[in-house]
Amino acid sequence: MSSDEVSTPDFAVDRLVHEPARLGILSVLEGQKEADFQFLQTVLGLTKGNLSSHLSKLEAAGLIRVTKVFQGKLPRTMQEITPAGRAALERHWEQMDAIRNLGR
Amino acid sequence: MSSDEVSTPDFAVDRLVHEPARLGILSVLEGQKEADFQFLQTVLGLTKGNLSSHLSKLEAAGLIRVTKVFQGKLPRTMQEITPAGRAALERHWEQMDAIRNLGR
């Protein structure tokens, strides 16, 4: 690759998304219609506190939606990715792919 | 994906490598035998100070080697990725792929 061939990569990633655990949450939710807290905690192997904190940040940014439902008398918290969340995740992987291909 | 099917992902990325600009430096160097400072600055679109700071951190961690050579009377700083750098970059992309595939 010569230096005049290539457009410079975009390193300005969304730091909210770039955090690995939050990338994991968004990736899991991208493949599901919705997922409850328990499922996310098991699949991601995160502590309750850690997962709650990441979910709050993603919700505050509008990248996920969190709804509380009752199953019989039991409360369940359901999470789903929003269109903005999907777009942010897709853009992030595009940025990572562009960086990854710099060496090719 | 059911929660008992999957091993939990490894979110403990190497923060030194995870920084997008340093990912870019390692990726460029992975595809070259070596590269001089000017080339890296052009291809990555980084400022002189920014690139110098990232290169120092990568060199201190043993992920790149920096050598000063003279071309005629002109000094040139050559950078190359070390075996440890290649291993760290490969491991990082493996972690990112594992996270990316959580939704599949």
CATH number of the CATH domain containing A40 = 1.10.10.10
Contact A3 B30 (CB under 8 A): no
Mean pLDDT, rounded, of chain A: 92
Query: Which pLDDT score is estimated for A9?
Result: 87
Residues contacting residue B21 through CB under 8 Å, at least 6 positions apart: A11, B44, B46, B50, B51, B54
Q: What would the pLDDT profile of A90-100 be if each residue is shown by its tens digit?
A: 999 999 999 99
Q: Reply yes or no on whether the pLDDT at A32 is more than 80.
A: yes
- ipTM surpasses cut 0.90: no
Helix boundaries (H) for A15-82: 15-18, 20-30, 37-44, 48-60
Contact A103 B1 (CB under 8 A): no
Dist. CA B98–CA B104, nearest whole Å: 10
- Within 8 A of A11 by CB-CB distance, chain B residues are 20-21, 24, 44, 46
Neighbours of A58 (CB within 10 A): 25
Residues of B in Cβ contact (< 8 Å) with A103: 26-32
- The verdict on residue B4 lying in a domain is no
Q: Is residue A67 part of a domain?
A: yes
Calculate mean pLDDT across residues B65-77: 91
- Closest chain B C-alpha to A1 CA, distance in angstroms: 9
Nearest beta carbon to residue A99 from set B4, B23, B104: B23
Contacting residues of A for B26, CB less than 8 Å apart: 103
Render pLDDT for B30-49 as a digit per residue (tens, 0 to 9): 999 899 999 999 999 999 99
B4 band by pLDDT with thresholds 50, 70 and 90: low
Q: Say if B65 falls within a structural domain.
A: yes
Give chain B as a DSSP string: --TTT-PPP-----HHHHSHHHHHHHHHHHTSS-EEHHHHHHHHT--HHHHHHHHHHHHHTTSEEEEEEEETTEEEEEEEE-HHHHHHHHHHHHHHHHHHGGG-
Token readout for A65 is 């939606």
Interface A–B counts its CB contacts (< 8 A) at: 98
What are the pLDDT digits (tens) for A52-99?
999 999 999 999 999 998 888 888 999 999 999 999 999 999 999 999
Asked whether the beta carbons of residue B43 and residue A104 sit closer than 8 angstroms, the reply is no
Indicate whether A48 belongs to any domain.
yes
Number of structural domains in chain B:
1
Residue of A nearest to B24 (CA): A99
Count of residues in chain B: 104
For residue B5, tell me if it sits in a domain.
no
Is A12 a domain residue? Answer: no
Local confidence band at B14 (pLDDT 50, 70, 90 cut-offs): very high
CA terminus-to-terminus distance, chain B: 8
pLDDT band at A1 (very low <50, low <70, confident <90, very high): low
B61 is in which domain, residue-wise?
A: 15-98
Is A80 strand, coil or helix?
A: strand
Element (H, E) at A93: helix A83-100
- Cα separation values, B35 from A101, B50, B77, Å: 16, 17, 8
What is the C-alpha radius of gyration for chain B, rounded to an integer number of angstroms? 17
Contact (CB<8Å) B102/A31: yes
- In DSSP terms, which residues pair with A66 in a beta bridge? A79
